[in-house]
Amino acid sequence: MSSSERSDRHSPDISNNNALLREILDNCEEAVAVSDHNGNLHYYNKAFDSLVSPSSPSPPLNDLLKALSLDALGVWRMLEKQVRMGYAPTYRIALNGGQVISVNAKLFSPKDDRGLILSIWNDATRDEQVRLNYNQATAMLELTQKVAGVGCWQADLEKGKMIWSEELYNITGLPREKSLSIKKYLTRFTPRSRAALIRNLKKAIRYSTPFEVDLEFYARDGSTKWGRANCRIENRNGSCTSLYGTFQDITDMKQREQAILRSHELLTTILNSIDADIYVCDFETHEVLFSNKLVEEEVRPTSNNMKCWEYIYGLDHKCYSCPEMELLDSEGNPSGLFIREFTNPKTGRTYLCHDRAVDWISGRKAHLQVALDISDRKKLEEEITMAMAQSEAANRSKGEFLANMSHEIRTPLNGIFGMLELARTTELNEEQEDYINTALESGRSLLTVINDILDFSKMEAGKLDIVEYDFNLEQCIKSVLKSFSVQVSDKKLNLEVEIAKGTPVCLMGDESRIRQILFNLVGNAVKFTLEGKVKVEVHHEETKLSPEKYRFVFTVSDTGIGIAENKQDIIFKAFTQADGSYTRKYSGTGLGLAIVRRLTALLGGDVSVESEEGKGSSFTFSVVCGLQSDHFSCAFREEDDQYEKNSLPALSILLVEDERINRFSATRILEKLGHSITPAENGYEALKILEGATFDCILMDIQMPVMDGIETTNEIRNSKKYAASRKTPIIAMTAHTMRGDKEKFLESGMDAYIPKPVEFKSLTEAIARVVKE
Ligand code: ADP
């Protein structure tokens, strides 16, 4: 239908029924006005009235036009513009009352000669507000998406169209294109994620199931990132018509998550690798919050929110031994570590438990326990303690055995020596004297061997102690050399001593052990040297060892047979000799150097050898000694010579000795020296004698039946009954020669000590010394 036809159809009604027309126009929502070219308003309907001035019933259109800055010409121009642009622009106008409104005006110029203008006005204020709100909401949404890194999308499955939010382009880096498709969307994902997304999408479409999945996608720069895709479904008649959802960039979150996961894995690995049961339970509820692998393996796989006592020990009540009260202070704060040993009543295994209170996640207080299974260690400890007790008992009995052996060997030897010495005092022909001297020499060799064996056994049993006392180094060396004077002069050897300048000689240390080392080394040097010399040198190292101790280095060298290089190591082993053949030229047990090595170690030093076969050997050893306060001047006693020279006056001597032969030989020898001897078989007998007599000196055996030497000495020294003999010198004469014996006897009140077998020379010297003192 053409526009002229339309106007033809309506025109008769309007012209003929003005009232009806007005009625229609007044009920029209749109404001309608009719004006002339001069701006005079000829007609306006109710809607126009309320649009332009809701308060005034008859506002002039001119006001409106004025407000739009339009005159009649302007209206025509506006009309033209509308025709040209094909739509009615919106005008914001401020009315006289100050109110701002937005209006759309459609102007028509009816084609009649009256030149009237028909205008239809629309209040666009609300539309504009809606548009404004919409724009604001869109901007807000975009901003929110940008800040949150969340894009959204919608896919219309029926139309095969997809729309993306601005942010989704930003996240995926895809260029904005008109023809967006799910296919393109999929190209942004790594193959693995793409497959996962397709799988989820298919499921969503087929079963209308929404999904959420984390996917790896390519960013604009080609790097891979992580996104979380969320998808919802729209259904119509049971089939999926469209999908919509969000896609969030979760790369940072994922990285943080992975970092947390890594550190969690690390901690879990560590906690699970620790060979101890570790678990945590809530302080209030006692519910188990964590347990490591070992607990789970030993107890059960998972705690299932069980109470600790139920989980760990299978109890239906709190453990009586739980230390939880100890773990918090009076203010309820963790008070530190509580360590205890605990035996699990169920398994019988013993644990070393470390309990402490800790601040747990979300403000909870928790009880942390680390329990180390020490059952095996405990068992081992018990075994070790038992073994140690056994070995101590064995050592004790070995020590006792050694003491007895020493005593039992020395007692008959003493008899042999005594009788030989006695025989020497009789009239002898040359041959007899030679036999006796040879027997005595063999006896002495036997004694050396016995001493070595006993010493070595003592060392093996760990029974050899070090006793430190003041001594003179020079005297110590010289007295050792003196004992070899006979052999040295027989062999025509030179014996030299060189104490380096500035070496302190007044020392504190175990002189008797140093003497023993020197005795062995000088003895060997003399034994293995046929001509030339034996030399002893000593110096000290300047560096002070703590406290006030120095290292003294001794060298014993000779011009003897020397030792083959391949034998230089083994000679320090017990019972080993360089010449191991049956046709050995030199006697010996092979124990000397083994003893030397152990003794030097005991004295804080060591020993080594340098030697060349046929040219000689040089043994160097070191020991650690302290210094006396004045370390250059101290007594140098020419003891032996001094007393040897003094002839003793005739003395009355009480000889207390249970062994018949020893008693007989001692009595006879001492009598031959002019002394008068009263023999007693034991301490009791001696005390009886002392009740009625006094003596110049008492020779006291130690081990005797009825009453031993120590008890007897104690009585003499302390009982009023023997007050007359309280000061009489007592010499211990004993086969008890173990380390410490001498000191023990002197402490019990004796004045001197002579070991058995008794050398009568030393006995007379000792008697002379004590009597003089
Ligand atoms: P022994 O009682 O046999 O002397 P040692 O342990 O004192 O035992 O010595 C072991 C061996 O070392 C000796 O048998 C000897 O072969 C060798 N030896 C030790 N000192 C010397 C030395 N000064 N010269 C040559 N050989 C020596």
Q: Please indicate whether residue 528 or residue 53 has the higher confidence score (pLDDT).
A: 528
Angle between helices 430-460 and 375-424 in degrees, nearest 10: 170
The pLDDT value given to residue 384: 92
The pLDDT value given to residue 497: 94
Residue % of the chain over a pLDDT of 90: 25
- Ligand 1 pocket check for 563: Cβ under 6 Å: yes
According to DSSP, residue 216 is labeled E
- Ligand 1 pocket check for 556: Cβ under 6 Å: no
- Ligand 1 pocket check for 578: Cβ under 6 Å: yes
The pLDDT value given to residue 160: 79
- The least confident of 357-361, 368-372, 504-508, 574-578 is 574-578
CB distance 183 to 160 below 8 Å? no
Confidence of residue 51 (pLDDT cuts 50, 70, 90): low
What are the Cα distances from residue 72, in Å, to 33, 89, 293, 458, 467? 14, 18, 94, 140, 138
The pLDDT value given to residue 7: 38
pLDDT over threshold 70, residue 52: no
Q: Please indicate whether residue 287 or residue 57 has the higher confidence score (pLDDT).
A: 287
Q: What angle do CA 292, 294, 297 make, to 5 degrees?
A: 110
Q: Please indicate whether residue 81 or residue 420 has the higher confidence score (pLDDT).
A: 420
- Ligand 1 pocket check for 516: Cβ under 6 Å: no
pLDDT over threshold 70, residue 26: yes
What is the rounded CA–CA span in Å between residue 246 and residue 212? 9
What is the rounded CA–CA span in Å between residue 119 and residue 533? 149
- The least confident of 60-69, 309-318, 543-552 is 60-69
Average pLDDT of the segment spanning 356-380: 89
Confidence of residue 9 (pLDDT cuts 50, 70, 90): very low
> pLDDT tens, 111-154?
666 777 777 877 777 777 888 889 898 888 888 888 888 999 89
Q: 538 C-alpha to center of ligand 1: Å?
A: 21
Q: Please indicate whether residue 34 or residue 371 has the higher confidence score (pLDDT).
A: 371
- Ligand 1 pocket check for 528: Cβ under 6 Å: yes
> pLDDT tens, 269-298?
998 888 899 989 998 899 998 888 888 888
> pLDDT tens, 410-464?
778 878 888 888 888 788 898 888 888 878 877 877 877 777 777 777 777 666 7
The pLDDT value given to residue 178: 63
What residues does 75 pair with on adjacent strands?
none
Exposure on the CB side of residue 473, measured as CA atoms within 13 A: 29
Q: Please indicate whether residue 574 or residue 676 has the higher confidence score (pLDDT).
A: 676
Report the mean per-residue pLDDT for the chain.
81
- Ligand 1 pocket check for 593: Cβ under 6 Å: yes
The pLDDT value given to residue 170: 86
Give this prediction's pTM: 0.45
- Ligand 1 pocket check for 156: Cβ under 6 Å: no
Q: 571 C-alpha to center of ligand 1: Å?
A: 7
What is the rounded CA–CA span in Å between residue 250 and residue 212? 13
Atom of ligand 1 nearest to the CA of 525: 23
pLDDT over threshold 70, residue 504: yes
- Ligand 1 pocket check for 616: Cβ under 6 Å: no
Q: 490 C-alpha to center of ligand 1: Å?
A: 20
Q: 509 C-alpha to center of ligand 1: Å?
A: 26
The pLDDT value given to residue 514: 92
Confidence of residue 642 (pLDDT cuts 50, 70, 90): very low
- The least confident of 324-338, 485-499, 686-700, 747-761 is 747-761
The pLDDT value given to residue 60: 46
Measured by CA distance, the residue closest to atom 19 of ligand 1 is 524
The pLDDT value given to residue 413: 81
> pLDDT tens, 151-175?
998 988 888 788 888 888 888 887 7
The pLDDT value given to residue 524: 92
Classify each residue of 153-167 as buried b or exposed e, where b means 16 or more C-beta atoms within 10 Å of its C-beta: bebebeeeebebbbb
Angle between helices 430-460 and 592-602 in degrees, nearest 10: 50
Q: Where are the alpha helices (DSSP H) in 17-95?
A: 18-26, 46-52, 61-67, 72-85
The pLDDT value given to residue 640: 46
- The least confident of 172-186, 476-490, 687-701 is 172-186
- The least confident of 38-42, 211-215, 349-353, 718-722 is 38-42
pLDDT over threshold 60, residue 769: yes
pLDDT over threshold 50, residue 641: no
Classify each residue of 674-683 as buried b or exposed e, where b means 16 or more C-beta atoms within 10 Å of its C-beta: ebebbbbbbb
